[in-house]
Amino acid sequence: MEIKSSENESFRLVYEEVFPVVMRVAYHVTYNMDVSEDICQEAFIRFYEKNIDFRSVDEAKYWLIRVTKNLAINVMKRKSREQAMVDKIKKAPKVPVRNGEDALIDSETRTLVREAVEKLPEKLKSVLVLKEYADLNYKQISGILHISESNVKVRVHRARKIMESMLDREEMHVS
């Protein structure tokens, strides 16, 4: 289905499907809900105002993910120059109360994962976030990041290796 980003119907269709994905991408790069919301808002405003024709919802989705990822990376670069400010704005999302049976990952493990992802170098972080949180395959990631599929494969492997070394496997609890 062809998508015209400035047409309200097309916009709503894409927004419904893509917003959760770009919100996850923004959040797992910045780990700040308010900043992530601003980034997503900016990405969708650009999407609406640019009036771009896409061949499909997926094409629009890849465009939005690329813009969101770049905005999030830029925010982190800017904030890293102001380290004191970073610590000030960072805050954990308000995790809803869930009963123990529903919880796949406990909050302690989530915090460990978050700290590990934050420490990843930018190139590896981008690939890992798109793989683990945007549920994209290697080909889609290569298209968004403009790198080869084999490069994606290598980066996924390296990112997981670092993640593993940073996470204490004894503390990872999967129910």
Partner 1 sequence: MCLDDQILNTYLDGELTEPWKTQVEEHLNYCVACKTRFGQLRTLHAVVSGSRLEEQEIAPHKEKVFQFIERNYMEKKNKIGFLHKDFRIKTPMLLSAAAAFVFVLVGALLIGPSTQAEPNGLIPRVVPATEGSVVQVRATEGLAASQVLENYPLEEILKYLDSRGYEVDLRVKGIQPMGEEADEPAVPVVEPVVEPTVTE
Binding interface with partner 1 (CB under 8 A): 6, 8, 11, 15, 19-20, 23-24, 27-28, 33, 36-37, 40-41, 44-45, 48-49, 93-96, 104-105, 109-110, 113-114, 117, 128, 131-133, 137-138, 153-154, 156-157, 160-161, 163-164, 167, 169, 172, 174
The smaller minimum CB distance to partner 1, of residues 9 and 87, is found at 9
Measured from the CB of residue 83, what is the shortest distance to partner 1 in angstroms?
24
Q: Using CA atoms, how far apart are residues 135 and 82, in angstroms rounded to an integer?
A: 32
CB of 1 to partner 1, least distance (A): 20
Q: How far is the CB of 30 from partner 1 (least distance, A)?
A: 11
Q: How far is the CB of 84 from partner 1 (least distance, A)?
A: 26
Q: Which is nearer to partner 1, 40 or 60 (CB)?
A: 40
- Is the CB of 51 or the CB of 74 nearer to partner 1? 51
